[in-house]
Structure 1
């Protein structure tokens, strides 16, 4: 992938996007808990990635760790959005359409998927930000601890601690249902 980025930025970026769009979106969905927010986070992360690559020299692109780099950008976008949302009042959601409905999906399958997804999103939303990020990156995205440490810019031991505490809290929240 780095070679493709070095040879032709536009084609290389298309390859990068194709390789990581599902990973970035699923991570964004678990972090934000809402389909529309995940779409926005994904789009913004890839936009920032493209702009960043356009300003990098060949040496920096050659040394790039694409997956960790894209996930770092996503985490930064998510944190910035969370900070911005905390400064303004929540919108009135009564008239908002249901996110993530596939019109071709069986009604029962949709209900089960939404119930499970909504419950997981709710429980993840109750975790402190650093635990939520660590748990999602480790158990949803399946990144190794070393890459999570790079993405979150914290020591590996701290990653392990955040994951452990986050999972313990999720178990407690799941048992409290």
Structure 2
């Protein structure tokens, strides 16, 4: 147990305090991954909250060995991906909303007006382009380039071979470039 990261040590010492550290260490990557997968700020908030809720419930039932063996970031992103897939299945039964109607960012009081406008325009454009990708390509691109996960972890999370992950990322990026140039 000497090779445990600080979050795992905290989780083993005290679930509640350790969970606060887990949340602090991974909330940004979980939220930004959720935002790029869903394309909508409110949906990303819901996905993030549900991810951490399910993680807490799962941790409450884990024994010490299982907590010690956790790779917390990929584990949380796997939970997020499962929730997102379930939402996508439910959403497929309804017509999709127009993602360009709602902004994907919030105002930062420290940021200048011009910088905020550029960031918002870029974020909306990226969200719109990502929404045009098939779900499997969007997931692979976001996990690789937003969450910065290695191909092997993405393959494990998506339950597909590494070559398929590489293919999804490559095709997704190619399609994003083509779509971005067409606008």
The normalised TM-score by structure 2 is 0.88
1:21-77: CA deviations, max 9, x gaps?
000000011011111111111000000000011111222111111111000000011
1:119-164: CA deviations, max 9, x gaps?
1111100111011000011111111111111221211111111101
Number of aligned residues: 175
Structure 2 partner of 1:17: 23
Pairs within 5 Å for 1:19-58: 19-58=25-64
1:93-112: CA deviations, max 9, x gaps?
9xx87553316243322221
Q: Aligned partners of 1:127 and 1:89: how far apart in 2? A: 16
Q: Pairwise CA RMSD of aligned residues?
A: 1.9
The alpha-carbon deviation at position 6 of structure 1 amounts to: 1.3
Structure-2 change in CA distance of 1:116 and 1:129 (3 Å): same
The alpha-carbon deviation at position 92 of structure 1 amounts to: 9.4
Residue ranges of structure 2 left out of the alignment (5+ in a row): 1-6
Pairs within 5 Å for 1:130-141: 130-141=136-147
Q: Quick check: 1:131–1:165 contact (8 Å CA) kept in 2?
A: yes
Pairing 1:111–2:117 present: yes
The alpha-carbon deviation at position 9 of structure 1 amounts to: 0.8
Q: Quick check: 2:131–2:138 contact (8 Å CA) kept in 1?
A: yes
Q: Quick check: 1:127–1:169 contact (8 Å CA) kept in 2?
A: yes
Structure 2 partner of 1:123: 129
The normalised TM-score by structure 1 is 0.91
Residue ranges of structure 1 left out of the alignment (5+ in a row): none
Q: Quick check: 1:30–1:121 contact (8 Å CA) kept in 2?
A: yes
Pairing 1:67–2:73 present: yes
Q: Quick check: 1:101–1:110 contact (8 Å CA) kept in 2?
A: no
Q: Quick check: 1:68–1:150 contact (8 Å CA) kept in 2?
A: no
